[in-house]
Chains A and B, each alone.
Chain A
């Protein structure tokens, strides 16, 4: 349960940590755009270099980034397998029965795998180096600039921050309930799938009961303090760009422009 990295903040004093959350979100989006436009090996190398740089400047231990990859390992593997099996073209490398593996397939699969891992890693850096409050604050400010999101920006970010805020609480709660039921002899590890699913009931029921209770109490507490949504609401901590952000933006966009200009990346058609 405590293995999850997304939504977990890794405290450190670093260049990346001090960046404005808006900068981090924008650059992460730019990076994602970048890796889906990569056309050649050089492009991947540059993308990888960027990742390494970001990790170094964030002072986050690499093992935290790797831990963040674990939950998506299954999806990455599935993507790779599907791409290998479904892509036809190039030389036939080998075939086992009806399964035929082509050179093209291996290349496409490798590309997809690398892209997904780069994507998850950068997103992890963003969430690990930004507290959830800053993250949702940044998203709200950015969404306000988007015409069709403008009016619901506050609500969306409030929902997100509440959801993120309750992830650790719910994890703790699950852990507590699990321990209590284990102490009553509950067995979550053995048996077939049906038995295992049934064994989850003593955890899920109390978990839902307390989650609903919490939600009700939170709503009450917010209303008691006259929460009325985003209208007319001011911020205690106003986000401010600094020189650091300018540096990060310039480096990010410059690299992007140079790569597009030199043809290493471009639209995939």
Chain B
């Protein structure tokens, strides 16, 4: 399972006064089991890009290729959404059914799962996002808390068993606890279930902590696609395009400035903590 984007550009409202080029000459490919972080300043085209990956938007020029097939020419929408799942920003707004079970079952039903398959996948997906199936299945999603609604919505996409899961700011608007829980489940999906993840986020720490590779967008262009270590190595360059490095790295850089000898190439929260413990411990 792979996605290849070739020479893709997208222009909104082509040929009107509102014409706006949102993406320009995007080229990349993503392999199975990858965990990719996507970062970029607001309005740089992240959401526009992901909508191309399951055929919601058609490229103005260029193509999107999944498993060797151009999705806009050789794949009906149903076949695409079976493979590529998208969780949009604030996905709780997509909930509409009377019960959690029915809502999560909506997707698999649409793409032709059998009754047994649906039952199985709904149970699995609800449990994958950390909810108790028997407890929530008959509850109305509208009676749940914000964080729970978000999980139900994610489960609704997971239930279609996509091989690639794209999430647009899945943790925005959640409390820190809810944030780290949701991200933990997403990480588990990648490591244990083997789903390829594309995570759009404006939180550098989230991307640094989980992604194997990072795409950096600026003004509709893909300016960098590299390991987080490489991407977060140049603070000035990131700041120029309105981004920054993870907080954990900022702490290390600050310590270094104060003359404490820490390894500033680290960028993950847990690595930074260990490094600080090492240095402090070493001084005793």
CB-CB < 8 A to A206: which residues of B? 93-96
B78 within 8 A of A: yes
Q: A210 to B142, alpha carbons, bound, how many Å? A: 11
Docked-complex contact A184 and B77, CB < 8 angstroms: no
B170 within 8 A of A: no
Question: Which one, A143-151, A154-162, A173-181, is touching chain B?
Answer: A173-181
Docked-complex contact B88 and A183, CB < 8 angstroms: yes
- Please report the total number of A residues contacting B with Cβ < 8 Å: 20
CB-CB < 8 A to A181: which residues of B? 94, 106
CB-CB < 8 A to A183: which residues of B? 54, 56, 81, 85-86, 88, 157
Docked-complex contact A184 and B96, CB < 8 angstroms: no
Known contacts A177-B93, A177-B94, A10 near B110 by CB under 8 Å: no
A197 within 8 A of B: no
Docked-complex contact A184 and B56, CB < 8 angstroms: no
B91 within 8 A of A: yes
B17 within 8 A of A: yes
Interface centre among B81, B86, B91, B93 (most CB of A within 10 A): B93
B83 to chain A, nearest CB (A): 12
Q: Find residues 98-114 in chain B having any chain A CB closer than 8 Å to their own CB.
A: 106-107, 110-111
**Which listed residue, B85, B110, B142, B157, touches A209 by the CB 8 Å rule?**
B142
**Which listed residue, A10, A179, A209, touches B17 by the CB 8 Å rule?**
A10
Q: A209 to B91, alpha carbons, bound, how many Å? A: 14
CB-CB < 8 A to B107: which residues of A? 184-185
Docked-complex contact A185 and B94, CB < 8 angstroms: no
CB-CB < 8 A to A205: which residues of B? 96
A9 to chain B, nearest CB (A): 11
Q: A210 to B95, alpha carbons, bound, how many Å? A: 11
CB-CB < 8 A to A182: which residues of B? 56, 77, 81
A108 within 8 A of B: no
Docked-complex contact A179 and B56, CB < 8 angstroms: yes
Known contacts A185-B78, A202-B106, A180 near B94 by CB under 8 Å: yes
CB-CB < 8 A to A185: which residues of B? 77-78, 81-82, 107, 110-111, 160
Q: A205 to B98, alpha carbons, bound, how many Å? A: 10
Query: Majority SS of interface residues in chain A?
Result: helix
Q: A191 to B124, alpha carbons, bound, how many Å? A: 31
A236 within 8 A of B: no
B171 to chain A, nearest CB (A): 17
CB-CB < 8 A to B82: which residues of A? 185
Interface centre among A176, A177, A185, A210 (most CB of B within 10 A): A185
Docked-complex contact A202 and B81, CB < 8 angstroms: no
Q: Find residues 155-212 in chain B having any chain A CB closer than 8 Å to their own CB.
A: 156-157, 160
Q: A206 to B17, alpha carbons, bound, how many Å? A: 32
Q: Find residues 217-250 in chain B having any chain A CB closer than 8 Å to their own CB.
A: none
Q: A181 to B157, alpha carbons, bound, how many Å? A: 10
Interface centre among A173, A180, A184, A185 (most CB of B within 10 A): A184
Docked-complex contact A176 and B106, CB < 8 angstroms: no
Docked-complex contact A202 and B96, CB < 8 angstroms: yes
A187 to chain B, nearest CB (A): 7
Q: A201 to B81, alpha carbons, bound, how many Å? A: 20
B51 within 8 A of A: yes
Q: A182 to B80, alpha carbons, bound, how many Å? A: 11
Q: Find residues 199-224 in chain A having any chain B CB closer than 8 Å to their own CB.
A: 201-202, 205-206, 209-210
Q: Can you name 27 A-B pairs with beta carbons within 8 Å?
A: A10-B17, A11-B17, A173-B93, A176-B88, A176-B93, A180-B91, A180-B93, A180-B94, A182-B81, A183-B54, A183-B56, A183-B88, A184-B81, A184-B106, A184-B110, A184-B156, A184-B160, A185-B77, A185-B81, A185-B111, A185-B160, A187-B78, A202-B96, A202-B106, A206-B94, A206-B96, A209-B142
| Other A-B pairs beyond A179-B51, A185-B82, 14, CB < 8 Å | A11-B17, A173-B93, A180-B94, A181-B94, A183-B86, A184-B156, A185-B77, A185-B81, A185-B110, A186-B106, A186-B110, A187-B77, A202-B94, A206-B95
Please list the residues of chain B having a beta carbon within 8 angstroms of any beta carbon in chain A. Answer: 17, 51, 54, 56, 77-78, 81-82, 85-86, 88, 91, 93-96, 106-107, 110-111, 142, 156-157, 160
